[in-house]
Amino acid sequence: MKRSERPAFAGSSFAAWTRGGWTPCVVALGVLLAAGGAPALAGPGPVDASHVALHEIDVDQGAATLVETPCGTVMIDAGGRQDAGDTRLLAYLKGYFAARPALNNTLPAVFLTHPHIDHDLGLLDVVHTYKVGGVIYNGQSPAPPGPGKSRADAVVAYATAHHIPTRGVLQADAFNGDGVTDDVVSPLAGCTGVKPEIRVLGGGHSKDKTGWTGDYKNPNNNSLAIRVDYGKASFLFLGDMEEAQQAEVIAHWSGTPWLRADVYHVAHHGSYNGTTPATMSAVAPKIAVMGVGAAANHAQWTAWAYGHPREQAIQAMEAGVSDHRDTPKAFPISTAVKTFHPETIDKAIYATGWDGDITITADKDGTYVVTTEPVTHPPDPPKAKTAAAAPKAHVTAGR
């Protein structure tokens, strides 16, 4: 990663950008927008015609990612832990689209890696609020019982009722040829020069409960694997897949170019079973980024309660990620649920619970710039609305 290079963003408000100096610029543009009646900007401004950006939105414990390209933005997961996370996600999206009027409030594709609430809490609001070109999910419809089922089913039902194309990608579909990359999965067109390409490389194991045995009863192990390429820049998302599904995915794509990626979207929020030396060997990333809550929040369904991120996953990343943070810094990592200690992170490993909103900008030559913006979450309400719906299975899966 050559982070000394300045990212090329459209808009003169970013002329004062300096390495590590995003905050004043973001605030400055946010003030400008607020003065004009639009919401404060969330994250850096729009990419220009030769860059893409991954926006990892800090939604507390959960994952919500935008992949911004010069010819459209797609969304991968829209999760959160409770209503405040959904509110934060929607506020980010509002600012994002306000700063990008040319997008016309459109998401050409929305992906749900698997139907857990920390991945789909805000998804129904997203498809209700924005113009969505297609919905891609893991092929399990109706979704299996559990937290997130109702929203996942409602999203697919809404898409069907409104004639929005859907693609349910089972792992057997993904393992056919070079993955699934049709005009629903990879709809971004109109870029001058480099065309972004999206392909799904893994998915659900069966449409119904047949075959839901052992490790595959867990929706985590029925996650979409998604790859985004933009010239030499590459991004890989593994949802919440654990060792069982990862072993299949890694074995199937071994010897192909499809798993090795510069930016690794960390599986399962940094859980011990989401990133192993085998994962790092297959992906060999320059940068790792994870959606995970802050360890300081001692409540239900938090990173603290699950023990995310876990020490052995971080150690695998410290060994396997090739690039470095600007300055090594100590962050809380866990050795067990509710058990954390500070550990100095030297490699280019970023987490929303450590860094807030994270944006990774890339050009077609694979030069990356990482920017972060701290986020303050409101304290939990006396009783979390979503807590009662979360089943034990997910708690176990989080360990």
For residue 170, what are the β-bridge partners? 204
Tokens linked to 29: 């543009």
* Of 212, 202, 215, 198, residue with least CA distance to 173: 202
Smallest distance from Zn ion to CB 377, Å: 17
Residue closer to Zn ion (CB basis): 55 or 268: 268
Unique residue bearing structure tokens 């935008």: 66
Residue closer to Zn ion (CB basis): 30 or 146: 146
Binding mask 107-146 for Zn ion (x = CB under 5 A): -----------x----------------------------
According to DSSP, the β-strands at 51-56 and 357-363 are: antiparallel
Binding segment toward Zn ion, per CB under 5 A, in 8-16, 50-58, 93-101, 232-240: 232-240
CB-CB neighbours of 268 under 10 Å: 30
Spell 5-15 as b/e; 16+ CB within 10 A means b: eebebbeebbe
Residue closer to Zn ion (CB basis): 174 or 390: 390
Smallest distance from Zn ion to CB 12, Å: 39
Smallest distance from Zn ion to CB 116, Å: 5
Binding segment toward Zn ion, per CB under 5 A, in 134-142, 239-247, 328-336, 354-362: 239-247
Residue closer to Zn ion (CB basis): 240 or 243: 240
Torsion-angle region of 261 (φ positive above 0: left; ψ -120 to 50: alpha; else: beta) = beta
- Please give the C-alpha separations between residue 106 and each of 72, 74, 100, in angstroms, as whole numbers: 8, 9, 10
Number of residues that bind Zn ion (CB under 5 A): 2
Binding Zn ion (rule: CB under 5 A), the pick from 240, 243, 248, 262 is: 240
Query: Does the protein bind Zn ion through residue 323 (CB under 5 A)?
Result: no
CA dihedral (376, 380, 386, 389) positive or negative: positive
Smallest distance from Zn ion to CB 119, Å: 5
Q: What residue ranges bind Zn ion (CB under 5 A)?
A: 118, 240
